[in-house]
Structure 1
C-alpha cells in the first residue's frame, strides 16, 4: 500500500499545481492556464465510470492478473504515457496536444484511484483498514513531495521535459508493485447472491434480446445493485451516513484553501512557510496517519471517528490564536503541528470508516461514491472563503471554520448509536479479528 499510495499521489500535482507552474514558466497565458486546470475535475466525477472499473473485464489482462490488478496496470500505463507525452510536447507550439496528454493523465489517475481503493478494501479485514490507510497516505504524501518540490528542482537544474520524463519513469513504482501483489480473494455473501439472482430472474422475464438485454444486465448489475445494496443494508440510516460522509471533513477543507494566503498576510516569509507549513507539516501529517492506523486497530473505528470529529474544529481555533499572536515562528509551528497531526489522524480513520461501508461485491462503485461526496460540500463552500475573510477578518474566519465542523460531531455520535461500524461485518469478507472493547 505504501508503493501503491505513491503511484496514486504522483500524477495529482503533475496535472495540477506543478502543471500550471510549468505552463506559466513557459509564458502560456493565464486564461489558457485557467481552462486547463479543469483537467483535475476527473477525480470529482470518477463515480460515473467506477461501475465500469468494478464490473467490466479487460481482454487478456483480467485473465492474467485478475480484476483489480488489470485495471491498475492499464491506468498506470495510461498515466506514464500521458506524462511522457507532456514531456515531449512544447505547449508554446502545441498547447492543444498538451491538453490532450493532461486529460489522458488525469483520467488515468482517477481510474487508478478507483482500482487501488477497491484493492485496499478487499485485501484485508476491517480492523486492518486503518493500517492500510496509514501506509497509503504515507506513500501518497511522499509522491506529492516528489511531484511538487522534486519536479520543480528537476526543472531548475535541467528543463521541464526532463522533469516530466523522470516523473513518467517513477510510475514504474506502481507497475512493479501491481505485478508483485496478489489479486484479493472476495467472497459473495448470501444477501448479495439474492440481489444478483433477482437481476437474473428479471432478465429471464424481459422481452429484450441481443445487445439490449446485455446492456440492461450490465447496467442493473454495475449501477443499480451497488446503490440498492447500500440502501438495503443501512435502511433509513443511509441518508444519515451519507450526510456524515459529506460533513466530516468540511471544516478542514473549508479552512485549507485560505491557509497559505493567511500565512503571507500575517507576515511570514515564503522560506518560513516552506520549511514549517510544508516540510514540518508533511512530517506531522504522516505521523498522524500512522497513529490513526494504530488507534483504529486498538480502539476501533467508532470511538476514533468521534475523537477526530472533535479534533478538527478545535485545531482550527489554533489559527485564530495565531492571527492574534502575529508572525511568531513558535505560534506557526504549534498551529501547523496541531492541524496536520489531527488532519493525518482524521484522514486515516475516515478512510477506514469509508472502507467499512462497502460491500466487496461492489467496492469500486460504492467507495467512489463516498469519496466524491466527502469532498464536494467543502470544495463548494471554499469558493466563498475569500468573501468571508474580507467581511469578518482572519480571527473570526477560523472561528467560523470551527463552527461548521460541529454538525459532524453530532452526526458521529448518532452514527455510533445507529450504524456502529465496529458492530457490522463488511459483506463479502468475514472479519477474523473483531475489535474488542
Structure 2
C-alpha cells in the first residue's frame, strides 16, 4: 500500500533542483581534497621526495579534523553580501582557486617547507568550504531526500577526483606542473557560478544570538538528545568506521608508482577503474538504503569494504599488471562507494537541523581524523623509520615490533584490513541490524 508513494518520491527526489545543487556542492567539496591527497603526492614523488616525507604531508589535513573549532564563527557571523551561507561559499571558492593555482609555482626540492604551508592553507579553505556546503545541503534537503541527496553529493565528490587524479596527471606528461595546477584551480569556477545562481535556504534557521551560543548549543543538544554514553559511542564509530579504508588509499598513487606504472597509466587506468565502480556503488547504495535502511546498509557495505581491501594485498604481490590493477581497484572502490554512501547518510541522520554547521563539522572532522593522523604514519609503516632523522619515532615503532625496513606494501595492506574491524564491531551498539527501517516505522504507526 505504501510502495507507490515511496517510488514516486524517489524519482521526484532524483530530478529536482536540489539534486543538481548537490552535484555542484560535491564537486567543489571534493576537488581541493583530491589536490592534496592525489595530485600533490604524485607531484612530490615524481620530483624525488621520500615516501616518509610525503606521508607526513597528511598532517596538512589537520584543518579537516579541527574545523568544528571555527565552524561556530561561520554559523554566527554573516558576510555583507549573498546571505548567511552563500557569502562564505563565494569567498572560500575564490581563495581555493588562487591557492591551488599558486602551488605549481614552487619547486619541491627547494621549497618543500613553503609547499607544506601552502597545502595547509588549501586544507583550511577547503575545510571551511565543507562547513558551509554541508550546512547548506542539510538545510535545503528534506529528510526523505537525505539518502539520495548525500549519495549524489558523494558521487560528484568522487567525480571531482578525475581532475587532480587523472586529467592533471595526464597533462603533467605533456606540460609543466605550474600550468597543471592553474588548470586544476580553474575547476573551482563551476561552484562559484552555482553560488551566485542559487538562493538561500528558506529553512535556514536563525543565527545564534552570540558566539557563545554558536559554540555551546550544538554540543549540548547532541549529548542531551542521545545521552552521554550513546553519544560517545556514535563519535567513536564515526572515527573508526573508515579507518582501514582511509589507510589503504592514503598512499595509493605512490604505491602505483612504486609498482612501476607510468603517470599516464595511473591517470587513465587506475583512476578510472577506481572512480566509476565507486560511483556505481554510491548510486546502488543510495537506492538500496531506501529498501533496507541505513543500519543494514552499514553492516553489508562495511563487510564488502573490508573484504575488498584485501585486493591491494593481491595487487602488491602481482606487481605491474594493468588488467589486474583495474580488476582489483574496481572491486575495492565498489565497496568504498557503498560504504561511504551509508556512512554519510548516518552522519546526516545524527544531526539536528537547527545546528547543522557545527554538528556536521564535528562529525565530518571525526571521520577525517584517520585520513590526517593515521595516514601521516603510513609512509613509516611501509618503509620504516630512519633512526638518525626520527629517533623518537623509531623507538616508538620498534617497541610496537615494526621492522627497521618497514612492513612493505603487502603486510601494510593486511594491517589496513585489520584496522577496519573495530568500526564494524561498534555497529552492534550504534546501528543494530534489527532496528526498523523508516518504512517499517511508518507502516507500524498506521
Q: Normalising to structure 1: TM-score of the pair?
A: 0.76
Matched residue, 1:245: 238
Over residues 128-163 of structure 1, what are the superposed CA-to-partner deviations in whole Å (9 max), with x where a residue is unaligned? 222222222232223222123323444554444433
Judged with a 3 Å threshold, the aligned counterparts in structure 2 of structure 1 residues 30 and 324 are, in CA distance, closer, same or farther, namely: closer
Judged with a 3 Å threshold, the aligned counterparts in structure 2 of structure 1 residues 284 and 52 are, in CA distance, closer, same or farther, namely: same
SS of the counterpart of 1:140?
helix
Distance 1:150 1:394 in 2: 26
Q: Give yes or no for contact 2:37–2:250 (8 Å, CA) kept in 1.
A: no
Judged with a 3 Å threshold, the aligned counterparts in structure 2 of structure 1 residues 411 and 234 are, in CA distance, closer, same or farther, namely: same
How far 1:114 sits from its partner (Å)?
0.9
How far 1:86 sits from its partner (Å)?
4.8
The within-5 A match list for 1:77-88 is: 77-86=94-103
The within-5 A match list for 1:107-186 is: 107-186=124-203
Distance 1:289 1:131 in 2: 9
The within-5 A match list for 1:36-435 is: 39-58=60-79, 60-61=80-81, 65-86=82-103, 103-186=120-203, 218-235=210-227, 236-257=229-250, 259=252, 274-321=267-314, 331-377=324-370, 379-382=372-375, 383=377, 385-386=381-382, 397-417=412-432
Judged with a 3 Å threshold, the aligned counterparts in structure 2 of structure 1 residues 417 and 278 are, in CA distance, closer, same or farther, namely: closer
Over residues 251-289 of structure 1, what are the superposed CA-to-partner deviations in whole Å (9 max), with x where a residue is unaligned? 212323355566667777766655543221111111111
Judged with a 3 Å threshold, the aligned counterparts in structure 2 of structure 1 residues 234 and 115 are, in CA distance, closer, same or farther, namely: same
Distance 1:228 1:37 in 2: 31
Distance 1:330 1:239 in 2: 44
Judged with a 3 Å threshold, the aligned counterparts in structure 2 of structure 1 residues 434 and 368 are, in CA distance, closer, same or farther, namely: farther
Judged with a 3 Å threshold, the aligned counterparts in structure 2 of structure 1 residues 422 and 183 are, in CA distance, closer, same or farther, namely: farther
Matched residue, 1:12: 33
- What is the RMSD computed on CA atoms of the aligned residues? 4.1
Distance 2:341 2:414 in 1: 25
Judged with a 3 Å threshold, the aligned counterparts in structure 2 of structure 1 residues 173 and 302 are, in CA distance, closer, same or farther, namely: same
Structure 1: 5+ residue runs without aligned partners?
Answer: 197-216, 424-431
How far 1:105 sits from its partner (Å)?
3.5
Point out the structure with max Rg over C-alpha: 1
Q: Give yes or no for contact 1:9–1:143 (8 Å, CA) kept in 2.
A: yes
Judged with a 3 Å threshold, the aligned counterparts in structure 2 of structure 1 residues 436 and 122 are, in CA distance, closer, same or farther, namely: farther
Judged with a 3 Å threshold, the aligned counterparts in structure 2 of structure 1 residues 7 and 361 are, in CA distance, closer, same or farther, namely: same
Q: Give yes or no for contact 1:51–1:222 (8 Å, CA) kept in 2.
A: yes
Q: Give yes or no for contact 1:299–1:435 (8 Å, CA) kept in 2.
A: no
Judged with a 3 Å threshold, the aligned counterparts in structure 2 of structure 1 residues 226 and 36 are, in CA distance, closer, same or farther, namely: same
How far 1:97 sits from its partner (Å)?
7.9
Q: Normalising to structure 2: TM-score of the pair?
A: 0.74
SS of the counterpart of 2:85?
helix
Q: Give yes or no for contact 2:146–2:345 (8 Å, CA) kept in 1.
A: yes
Over residues 398-420 of structure 1, what are the superposed CA-to-partner deviations in whole Å (9 max), with x where a residue is unaligned? 44433332332232232234996
Structure 2: 5+ residue runs without aligned partners?
Answer: 1-21, 385-401
Distance 2:115 2:419 in 1: 40
Judged with a 3 Å threshold, the aligned counterparts in structure 2 of structure 1 residues 103 and 263 are, in CA distance, closer, same or farther, namely: closer
Matched residue, 1:214: none
How far 1:337 sits from its partner (Å)?
2.1
Judged with a 3 Å threshold, the aligned counterparts in structure 2 of structure 1 residues 4 and 363 are, in CA distance, closer, same or farther, namely: same
Distance 1:433 1:356 in 2: 17
User: Structure 1 residues 338-347 or 264-273, which shifts more?
Assistant: 264-273
Over residues 287-308 of structure 1, what are the superposed CA-to-partner deviations in whole Å (9 max), with x where a residue is unaligned? 1112112222332212111112
Judged with a 3 Å threshold, the aligned counterparts in structure 2 of structure 1 residues 267 and 8 are, in CA distance, closer, same or farther, namely: closer
Judged with a 3 Å threshold, the aligned counterparts in structure 2 of structure 1 residues 123 and 339 are, in CA distance, closer, same or farther, namely: same
Q: Give yes or no for contact 2:240–2:423 (8 Å, CA) kept in 1.
A: yes
Matched residue, 1:211: none
